[in-house]
Amino acid sequence: MSENDRHPFLAGLSKHRGAPPTCLVIFGASGDLTARKLLPALYNLAVDNLLPADFALIGFGRKPLPDAEFRAIAAREITRFTRRPFNPDIWRRIEAATYYQAGEYDDPAAFSALASRITEIEKAAGTSLQLVSYISTPPTVFESIVENHGRSGLAARGLGTQTESKIIIEKPFGRDLASAVQLNAVIARNFRESQVFRIDHYLGKETVQDLLVLRFANPILEPLWNRRHVDHVQITVAEELGVGSRGGYYEHSGATRDMLQNHTMQLLALTAMDAPASLNAEHIRDQKVRLLESIRSLQLGKGGDAVRAQYTEGLSGGEPVTGYLAEKDISATSGTETFCALRLSIENDRWSGVPFYLRSGKRMARRVSEISIQFKQPVDGLFAADSRYDIAPNRLVIQIQPDEGSTLILNSKVPGLEPRTQPVRLSFRYAATYGSDTPEAYERLILDGIVGDRTLFIRGDETEASWRLFTPLLQSWAAAGRAGLETYPAGSWGPAAGDALLAPHGHAWRNAGR
Ligand code: BG6
Q: Where are the domains of the chain?
A: 3-170, 203-439+460-505
Ligand 1 center to residue 481 CA distance, Å? Answer: 25
How far lies 177's CA from each of 25, 461, 462, in Å?
29, 11, 11
Ligand 1 center to residue 287 CA distance, Å? Answer: 25
* Residue 53 pLDDT: 86
What SS3 state is found at 216?
Answer: helix
pLDDT average, residue stretch 342-363: 98
Nearest Cα neighbor of 494 from 485, 504, 482 is 485
Catalytic residue among 7, 232, 263, 507: 263
Instruction: Give the CB-side neighbour count of residue 503, counting CA atoms within 13 A.
Output: 8
Ligand 1 center to residue 258 CA distance, Å? Answer: 8
* Residue 90 pLDDT: 93
- The secondary structure element, H or E, covering residue 472 is helix 460-480
What is the distance between the alpha carbons of residues 431 and 380, in angstroms, rounded to a whole number? 40
Domains 3-170 and 203-439+460-505 share a fold: no
How far lies 285's CA from each of 76, 189, 371, in Å?
38, 22, 20
What SS3 state is found at 14?
Answer: strand
Instruction: Give the CB-side neighbour count of residue 403, counting CA atoms within 13 A.
Output: 10
User: How confident is the model over 164-215, as pLDDT tens digits?
Assistant: 999 999 999 999 999 999 999 999 999 999 999 999 999 999 999 999 999 9
Give yes or no for a cis peptide into 64 (omega within 30° of 0): no
pLDDT average, residue stretch 248-254: 94
Q: How confident is the model at residue 7 (pLDDT cuts 50, 70, 90)?
A: very low
CA 98 to chain centre: 27
> Is 507 tagged catalytic?
no
Residue 28's φ and ψ, nearest 5 degrees, are: 95, 40
How far lies 115's CA from each of 99, 184, 441, in Å?
13, 24, 29
**Greater model confidence, 53 or 250:** 250
At position 491, the amino acid (one-letter code) is G
Query: Would you tell me which CATH number, out of the four given (1.10.3720.10, 1.10.10.10, 3.40.50.720, 3.40.50.970), belongs to the domain 3-170?
Result: 3.40.50.720
Out of 259, 260, 364, 368, mutate this one to test ligand 1's pocket (max ligand atoms within 8 Å of CB): namely 259
CATH class label, 203-439+460-505: alpha beta
